[in-house]
Amino acid sequence: MTKRAIVAESPRTDRATPDSRPPGPFEGAVFRTGAARLAQLPPAGPRELAVAGRSNAGKSSAINALARRTRLAYASRTPGRTQQINFFDLRGGAVVADLPGYGYAAVSRALKESWQEFLWRYVTTRTTLIALVLVVDARHRLKTSDLELLAAFVPSGRPVLVLATKADKLNQADRRAAVADISSQLRDAFGVAAGTVNVVAFSAVSRLGVEEANAHITEWLGD
């Protein structure tokens, strides 16, 4: 496994101007380690919150927006090439797991299946995984690969937060329609189990939905 590069960050450019609001649960996150296969996963211990999404859905930008940072999570220059789960320690003692992007077509079928198997095994067997944040492009709704991932998680009853990202590219009416359509997809796919899933219109650019997402995550973590 190639270790993830850690880049020194300037506090003047990489952090927001301090204000009086309480910090969000992702603020102060520190990179711990990366794992490219099951044997490299850190020992199960603190509560874990996973963040998943299709390649190019805006997952890295969403994590950075929640952390009020610009370079905490990195998007690969080649979509679909991020091969490991990156773990971040939160100041409250919990852990965030940034899962590899999935669903990108321009990688070999064998490689894609290998990554998806790793992600599937993590989501279905990790005993300390308490909740899932799923990042989807609001303009494209839930894709088949999103629903397949949710099918491995939703029946467990653990909570899910769907961030409908890039909502700044939609007008208000279209944002409402996107959230309604995604909620309808969830009900059709999972019935009453969809009650454990919340959908939030989100934008890393305008910070739309950041506080609402923070409220859900804070509730999960008990902070």
This prediction has a pTM of 0.84
Count of domains forming the chain: 1
Domain that residue 187 falls in = 25-221
Q: For residue 9, is it within any domain? A: no
Cα(32)–Cα(87) distance, integer angstroms? 5
12-32 pLDDT, tens digit each:
334 444 456 789 999 999 999
CB neighbourhood size of 95 (10 A): 20
* Distance from chain centroid for Cα 93: 18
Q: Is residue 14 part of a domain?
A: no
Q: What gap in Å lies between CA 137 and CA 162, rounded to an integer? A: 10
Summarised one tens digit per residue, pLDDT across range 154-210 is 999 999 999 999 999 999 999 999 999 999 999 999 998 888 999 999 999 999 999
* The dihedral sign for the CA sequence 187, 190, 194, 197: negative
Specify if 29 maps to a domain. Answer: yes
Q: Is residue 7 part of a domain?
A: no
Residue 112 — very low, low, confident or very high, per pLDDT cuts 50/70/90?
A: low
Between the alpha carbon of residue 42 and those of residues 37, 70, 85, the distances in Å are 11, 26, 10
Please indicate, yes or no, if residue 35 is contained in any of the structural domains.
yes
In a domain, residue 12? The reply is no
* Residue 3: inside a domain: no
Closest alpha carbon to 96 in 43, 146, 147, 46:
46
**What are the residues whose beta carbons fall under 8 Å from the beta carbon of 6, sequence distance 6 or more?**
31
pLDDT digit string (tens) for 53-98? 998 899 999 999 999 998 786 654 444 445 789 999 999 899 999 9
111 is written with which tokens? 């490689």
Assess if residue 5 is contained within a domain: no
CATH number at residue 103: 3.40.50.300
